Amino acid sequence: MSETTARPGAAAHAATGNPARPSVIQLVFREKGALYAAYISAFSDGGLFVPTTRDYRLGEDIYLLLSLPDDPQRYPVAGKVAWITPANASGGRTQGVGVRFPSDEKSRGLKIKIEELLGTAVQSAKPTQTI
C-alpha cells in the first residue's frame, strides 16, 4: 500500500489506496481560499488539483472523497488524472495531479455547488495551483 498526502492550503488530508485499484484520496477543504486554489474551472465538468507525491499516469482513475467548507456531506468523485505537476516543477508549483470530474449528473451538481461556494472568485485573476 502507498500513502498519498493531499494538503491544499493545509486544509486537506489523504487516505491510503491500493495500487491494484483506483487510488482513494480524501480531500477536506475547510476554507474557501483552499478550495479556490485547487478548483479547476477550465475542465468542462470541473476538477480539482490534488497535491501528492505519488506517481500517477495521465488517464489513471482516481477516486476522491470530497468535503467542502461548511458542509457536513462528503462527495464521492470517480475522476481521472488529466495533468501532472512533477516534483521540482518550474515556478515553485506544488507537485500533484489535476483530476477531471466525470461527465455525469452528480459531477455537474458538484461543479455547480463548488462554483456557488466560490461565487465571483471563480473569475478571479488570483493565482491558483491549477492551469
- Number of domain units in the chain: 1
- Residue 25 falls inside a structural domain: yes
Residue 105: all three cell numbers together? 449528473
CA distances 38 to 20, 23, 29, 129, Å, are 27, 18, 10, 6
List per-residue pLDDT tens for the chain, 131 residues long.
333 334 443 333 344 444 457 789 999 999 998 999 899 988 989 999 999 999 999 999 999 999 999 999 999 999 999 999 999 888 888 899 999 999 999 999 999 999 999 987 655 555 445 55
> Which residue segment(s) compose the domain that 88 sits in?
2-123
For the domain that residue 48 is a member of, what is the CATH number?
Answer: 2.40.10.220
Residue 91 — φ and ψ, nearest 5°? 70, 15
Whether 110 and 75 have beta carbons less than 8 Å apart is answered as yes
